[in-house]
Amino acid sequence: MIAHTPTLFACVALVATIMAFCLILVGQFNQRDGLLTIGFGLLAHALAYIGYTLYGHAPLWLTYGAANTLLSVALAFYGASVFRIIERPVSWWRIFAPAALMLVLMVELIDTLEPRMLAASLVLMVQCTLIIYWTRRYIPAQGRARMLLIIGSSISLIGLGMRVVAILGAGAAEMRYDVSNLKQTISVSIGTFTAMMISLGLVLLSKERSESLLQHLAQRDVLTGILNRRAILEQFSNELERARRDVCYLAVAMVDIDHFKQINDVHGHLAGDEVICHCVNHLTQRIRHTDSIGRYGGEEFLVLLPRTRPEGAVAVLDALRASLAESPARFGESTISLHISIGVCCVVPNADDTTASLLARADAALYDAKGAGRNSLRSAPPYPPHSETTPVRIS
């Protein structure tokens, strides 16, 4: 079916204007989510298609030169939105360089037919390619927004490619904005489709980014930034299931800062917070990336060491204890020495082992370490006394 080309342009302009108004309106309340930038892109997109609608009824510099420059500006805003949403630095001059090139080419080639159409199409193709590149490089592969952005930009490349083929095949006159034919209908329809996909993909990317940040905040301790109690227990449950399935060791350590109340009483609670942060930084910098640490209580931490044998866990944790004792915290002009006590339980979990039972054994070992004078490490016995549990054989 052949559609009236100016009518198609007008429909796109109307839809883009409505979406631009909505996004600019809501984007003012939180300029970090990128919605305002997307809205400006849609506004430029709408103005470009208004110019296309007036082709043949207004000066060529307005309906072709300015319109294509505005469409290039719209794609530049879409590219900038990707960086704004994922909170990466925006190199504005690089992103808008193609739009500036489009303006120069339109000024120079406005009195030609094939050269100006070819130049406009190629610049827009470069910008769509850049959006695909940035999306593939900076947006996680599992995101739905990534799929929309890549598909939308790729289809746009197909539509622009159709125009380039037609122009190179001496069919430039058939691709004028005031001509209605099957090629023009398909090309404009593809442009309409991709404009909606790219803008919706960016909005979805903003939503996914916000959800990811909220999930991150919900799992992190406010003071230290490590996993909070709920998150570390969830990680513990996952590691326990993995160790049981793979029949391998899992070391669970409870770490407690010695005499922490005395530190608060002598130096103040702000100093106590600094001591906690210092302890966390010291520990996180010295454990493996496969290990996990979380804040279990006020000055108490839970450390998980997957695939670590008892002798290895004791050696690593005792080295952490000794090194921290030699690295005092600083608060203002004060130097605050600190020590930690550690209780560790290391087992190949069987069907009867649970997070609660292993925590209880690690906590009992921590109690023994504190009873032994603190600044020490105690390891829980391989299996609780009087347990009828049969040890798991390690192959």
Tell me whether residue 69 is in a domain: yes
Per-residue pLDDT at 390 exceeds 60: no
Q: Which of 168-172, 188-192, 376-380 holds the top average pLDDT?
A: 376-380
Is residue 166 located within the same domain as residue 31? yes
| pLDDT band with cut points at 50, 70 and 90 for residue 179 | confident
Q: End of a domain among 164, 197, 218?
A: 218
Q: End of a domain among 187, 218, 249?
A: 218
Is residue 123 located within the same domain as residue 244? no
Is residue 127 located within the same domain as residue 236? no
* Per-residue pLDDT tens over the stretch 55-101: 889 999 999 999 999 999 999 999 999 999 988 898 999 999 999 99
- 172: its two tokens: 């430039």
* Per-residue pLDDT tens over the stretch 129-168: 999 999 999 988 777 889 999 999 998 898 888 888 888 8
Per-residue pLDDT at 384 exceeds 60: no
Query: Is residue 202 classed as helix, strand or coil in its secondary structure?
Result: helix
Tell me whether residue 176 is in a domain: yes
- 329: its two tokens: 């915290």
Is residue 24 located within the same domain as residue 152? yes
Is residue 207 located within the same domain as residue 250? no
Is residue 36 located within the same domain as residue 57? yes
**CA–CA distance, 140 with 135 (Å, rounded to integer):** 9
Tell me whether residue 327 is in a domain: yes
Q: Tell me, what's the pLDDT at 189?
A: 77
Q: What CATH number does residue 267 fall under?
A: 3.30.70.270
- Looking at every residue in the chain, the average pLDDT score rounds to 89
Indicate the pairing of strand 340-347 with strand 377-379.
parallel
* Per-residue pLDDT tens over the stretch 319-348: 999 999 999 999 988 899 999 999 999 999
Is residue 12 located within the same domain as residue 136? yes
Is residue 133 located within the same domain as residue 269? no
Per-residue pLDDT at 250 exceeds 60: yes
* Per-residue pLDDT tens over the stretch 11-38: 888 988 998 999 999 888 776 778 899 9
Is residue 282 located within the same domain as residue 162? no
Tell me whether residue 393 is in a domain: no
Tell me whether residue 22 is in a domain: yes
Is residue 249 located within the same domain as residue 314? yes
Tell me whether residue 390 is in a domain: no
Question: What's the total number of domains in the chain?
Answer: 2
> What value does the mean pLDDT take over residues 194-214?
86
Give the whole-number percent of the chain exceeding pLDDT 70.
Answer: 96
Is residue 269 located within the same domain as residue 341? yes
Sequential DSSP letters for 44-97: HHHHHHHHHHTBTTB-HIIIIIIHHHHHHHHHHHHHHHHHHHTT----HHHHTH
Q: Tell me, what's the pLDDT at 389?
A: 40
Tell me whether residue 33 is in a domain: yes
- 76: its two tokens: 């530049």
Place of tokens 């959006």: 131
Q: Tell me, what's the pLDDT at 31?
A: 67
Q: Which domain holds residue 277?
A: 229-379
In the chain, the largest separation of any two C-alpha atoms, in whole Å, equals 95
Is residue 336 located within the same domain as residue 301? yes
| pLDDT band with cut points at 50, 70 and 90 for residue 383 | low
* Per-residue pLDDT tens over the stretch 283-318: 999 999 999 999 999 899 999 999 999 999 999 999
Query: Is residue 392 classed as helix, strand or coil in its secondary structure?
Result: coil
Per-residue pLDDT at 381 exceeds 70: yes
Q: What is the pTM of this model?
A: 0.72
* Per-residue pLDDT tens over the stretch 213-227: 888 888 899 999 999
Tell me whether residue 304 is in a domain: yes
Per-residue pLDDT at 109 exceeds 80: yes
Q: What CATH number does residue 66 fall under?
A: 1.20.1070
| pLDDT band with cut points at 50, 70 and 90 for residue 394 | very low
Alpha helices in the chain (DSSP H): 5-27, 35-53, 60, 67-85, 92-95, 97-109, 114-138, 144-168, 182-219, 229-246, 260-267, 269-284, 310-325, 355-371
Q: End of a domain among 218, 242, 266?
A: 218
Q: Tell me, what's the pLDDT at 252?
A: 96
Per-residue pLDDT at 243 exceeds 60: yes
Per-residue pLDDT at 48 exceeds 80: yes
Q: Are 66 and 74 in contact (CB under 8 A)?
A: no
